[in-house]
Structure 1
Amino acid sequence: MISEESVKELFNYLKTGENVKFFSKVSDDVNWTVMGTHPLAGNYKTKEEFVKSTFLRLNKVLNEGVVLKVNQVLVKDATAVVEMESLSTALNGKPFNNTYCWIVRFENEMVVEVRAYVDSALVQMVLDENETN
């Protein structure tokens, strides 16, 4: 059973740079939907596809990589709503002050489904200004 404390503990790995520990609790066949109209938006059917298309891509344009701080967690049954903010800076020196809301469903303490909401315009801007082909 998940609790606010266990969810905060898991998501704290995204703040401390221990993404491998966070993703060890994400199912290999997770259904992860990134909402919005930016290049990272879409539905990812595996953890590998999600990480490659989002986290690894952002890591290339952010000095510190993806660093997320939890602001609030709400838990009901097997679902958590996690509000976060980015603590990263883009390669061009601009702060990447994005905010996130992830609705996360757990089964047996593993993340099996996520709907992630982000600032689409900010994601587009950071990629446009910092990504090189």
Structure 2
Amino acid sequence: MTSSRTSPLPAALLALALVAGAVTPAAFASSEPAAEARNRQIVTEAFERWQAGGTTFFTDLLSPEVIWTIEGSGPSAGRFEGRERFVERAVRPFVSRLSSPIRPVSKTVWADGDHVIVNWEGVGTAQDGQPYANSYAWILRMRDGQAVEVTAFLDLVPYDDVLRRIPAPRPE
């Protein structure tokens, strides 16, 4: 017959370590809630700067080695490896066709471990004066304060319409 009674030795050692200051109760708590809060704060603050007129959102938030995936089946869907490639192939061609940049007008941010999910509404104006509005859901995997993976969901019809309708600017 086995006993369900446990030895008091581990508890006594833990108590002694606590009294001696060798460990703190926080050392036994998961660091995950702190990481979640930090990741959520980093992303929230980056969106707030962008909303206020900032122009460094992608360089502030994305790791140089980010893998950004635009989900969907339109011509703009795809996978981009590296921040520069993503900005050069997806961001600049779109932004160059706008007379006023996209700004987040509302957002909700959730965090779960190293993942941050942002559901946001963005508005801007195309160079032909037509409004652009879209709903986005981005799932970011964070590491060391930067997004290393992003999966983006958006309505590609209005996005691709701007790319198709407005000619690309001529290189200078």
TM-score, with length taken from structure 2: 0.70
The 1:5–1:27 alpha-carbon spacing in structure 2 relative to 1, beyond 3 Å, is: closer
- Mapping of 1:21-100 within 5 angstroms? 22-100=58-136
The 1:96–1:49 alpha-carbon spacing in structure 2 relative to 1, beyond 3 Å, is: same
Stretches of 4+ aligned residues off by more than 4 angstroms? none
Deviations 1:23-77 (A, max 9, x none): 2331111011011223321101100000111211111111122323441001111
List alignment gaps of at least 5 residues for structure 1.
Answer: none
Q: Is 13-22 or 88-97 further displaced after alignment? A: 13-22
Q: Which residue of 2 aligns with 1:8?
A: 44
CA contact (8 A) 1:11 1:22 kept: no
CA contact (8 A) 1:11 1:70 kept: no
How far is 1:2 from its partner?
4.1
Answer yes or no: is 1:121 the counterpart of 2:157.
yes
The 1:45–1:2 alpha-carbon spacing in structure 2 relative to 1, beyond 3 Å, is: same
Which structure is larger by alpha-carbon Rg, 1 or 2? 2
The 1:53–1:70 alpha-carbon spacing in structure 2 relative to 1, beyond 3 Å, is: farther
Classify the secondary structure of the residue corresponding to 1:65.
strand
Of 134, 139, 149, the residue aligned with 1:103 is: 139
**What is the percentage of aligned positions where both structures have the same residue?**
27
Distance 1:21 1:97 in 2: 19
List alignment gaps of at least 5 residues for structure 2.
Answer: 1-34
**Higher helix fraction (1 or 2):** 2
TM-score, with length taken from structure 1: 0.88
Distance 1:79 1:102 in 2: 10
Q: What amino acid sits opposite 2:80 in the alignment?
A: Y
Q: How many residues align?
A: 133
